[in-house]
Copies of this chain bind each other. A is one copy, B any other.
Amino acid sequence: MSVTHTLAEFVADAEDGALPDWTIHEAKRTLLNLLAISLSASRSDDAKIIIDWARHEGCHERASIVGSDLRTSQSTAALVNGYLCHLQDYDDTHFPTVLHPTAPVWPAVLAAAEEAGANGLATLAAFVLGAETACRVAISVHPWHYDAGWHITGTAGVFGAAAGAGRVLGLEPRELVAALGAAGTRASGVREVFGSHGKPLHAGQAASSGVQAASWARAGFTASDDIIGGRRGFWAVLSPAGHSEEALLYDLGERWELRMNGLKPYANGVVSHPLQDAVIELRNAHELTADQVASIEARVHPLVPELMGKTDPRVGLEGKFSFRHCAAAALVDGAGHDAQFTDEKVKDPVIAAVRKKVLATVDESVREDEVYVTIKLTDGTQHDIHVEHATGSPENPMSDIVLRAKYDALAREVLTAERADELWHAVWTLDEAPDVAAVTELMQLPRK
């Protein structure tokens, strides 16, 4: 039996009710995270290009686009929602591979479930199985594939999107092999376009290709028997430097890669997350204000100044590459969402003043998800903290409470507090819902 077929059988034959409870809980959390960041992203000009295009396509109204009043075809909705989810680089990360599993998989699963009328538990389970597929394919080619220049979220993501959508449609293993073939031969996305609209497009394209592949396979579309391991398949052509069948299949159904998937508390690179954690914890514990602070001193991993050493950011995006700005905004606002990385925020005189007081010393013995911080106040008081594992790392998953704070901050940029609250609860009880309609309706702008 081909490796593709083995994976397809796993996805097709799993029972919704037999998946570990925590995986269903995690599926809800990833969906809430998607909704928060996609709602926030939907307001931007970057989003408008793609949402306007979807409106122009004008397909039958079968699947909903987050943060708009637009319903469209499955494949168009999947493309837009995947794009929105990855637009701010604020989605989840599978730490072993830097794959972002939610952005390609959830939009495909949600669009398929919305049209097919799948129940809530089946939909959550389909995401778990789709995400597992994407992560397994990613692991099997890591690190060779990413190092060669591929954006693994697009290339491995499309397998997860097809598996998740195919699961919703109830495909048999044989049909799922065809769906994975039709999707996998469209695996694409190179790192050359990082820093442009091309990057989030990869996630959208993967979601869209996956949902198309699943529906074509159900209609009799044929593809390879082994798109992953075949002579001219994914491994051979997109990862010639190496692959591991064992890594793909090891403990399949026992070990779940969602365990290694973290949600981001801050809308910037992960290396400064421990610093932001530390500053926010001290700020909240001691109710610190900007005018009290004499200095923020940190002992950090070497990558912090290397990747985020921008001293004097002048526009919002530069703020994301300045650990000083991250720490200053954390102290002043107690947060690190996209709202803390606007042009206005980097020019804010209060934040700029704190920024100048942030000092970092590199310490080779400090891990990447670790930090030691001392905040000295103008009255001579000193507060120390040691963050061992940053929030959102596998050793310290973001709590539901922190997720709620992130969700509220972002979802309320677009929805009323009441509607955001209803949506939160709709996801939280999705496993008991007869369909996904409450979620897909509430995630949209109210229709006039």
Chain A residues proximal to chain B, CB less than 8 Å? 45, 49-50, 52-53, 56-60, 73, 75-76, 148-150, 181-182, 184-194, 196-198, 201-202, 205, 209, 212, 215-216, 219-224, 226-227, 230-234, 236-238, 240
- Return chain B residues, CB-CB under 8 Å to A227: 190, 192-193
- Return chain B residues, CB-CB under 8 Å to A49: 216, 219-221
Whether A60 contacts B56 in the complex (CB less than 8 A), given A192-B231, A198-B182, A237-B148, comes out as: yes
Does A185 contact B181, Cβ atoms closer than 8 Å?
no
8 residue pairs bridging A and B, Cβ less than 8 Å apart = A58-B59, A149-B232, A185-B192, A185-B198, A192-B227, A193-B227, A197-B221, A198-B222
Among candidates B197, B222, B224, residue contacting A192 with C-beta atoms closer than 8 Å? B224
Identical chains bound together, number: 2
Q: How far is the CB of A70 from chain B (nearest CB, A)?
A: 13
Give the residue name and chain of the B residue nearest to A186 (CB).
B188
Q: How far is the CB of A50 from chain B (nearest CB, A)?
A: 7
- Return chain B residues, CB-CB under 8 Å to A59: 57-60, 73
- Return chain B residues, CB-CB under 8 Å to A75: 57
Q: How far is the CB of A161 from chain B (nearest CB, A)?
A: 14
- Return chain B residues, CB-CB under 8 Å to A60: 56-59
Among candidates B188, B193, B238, residue contacting A224 with C-beta atoms closer than 8 Å? B193
Does A149 contact B236, Cβ atoms closer than 8 Å?
yes
- Return chain B residues, CB-CB under 8 Å to A238: 190
Among candidates B57, B193, B216, B226, residue contacting A181 with C-beta atoms closer than 8 Å? B193
Does A190 contact B185, Cβ atoms closer than 8 Å?
yes
- Return chain B residues, CB-CB under 8 Å to A215: 53
Q: In the complex, A223→B192 CA distance in Å? A: 8
Q: In the complex, A181→B191 CA distance in Å? A: 11
Q: In the complex, A148→B196 CA distance in Å? A: 28
Q: In the complex, A216→B191 CA distance in Å? A: 19
Q: How far is the CB of A283 from chain B (nearest CB, A)?
A: 36
Further 16 A-B residue pairs, CB within 8 A, beyond A190-B237, A197-B221: A49-B221, A53-B219, A58-B59, A149-B232, A149-B236, A181-B198, A185-B192, A185-B198, A186-B186, A186-B205, A192-B226, A192-B232, A193-B227, A196-B222, A197-B223, A198-B223
Q: How far is the CB of A86 from chain B (nearest CB, A)?
A: 14
Does A193 contact B201, Cβ atoms closer than 8 Å?
no
Q: How far is the CB of A7 from chain B (nearest CB, A)?
A: 15
Does A185 contact B201, Cβ atoms closer than 8 Å?
yes
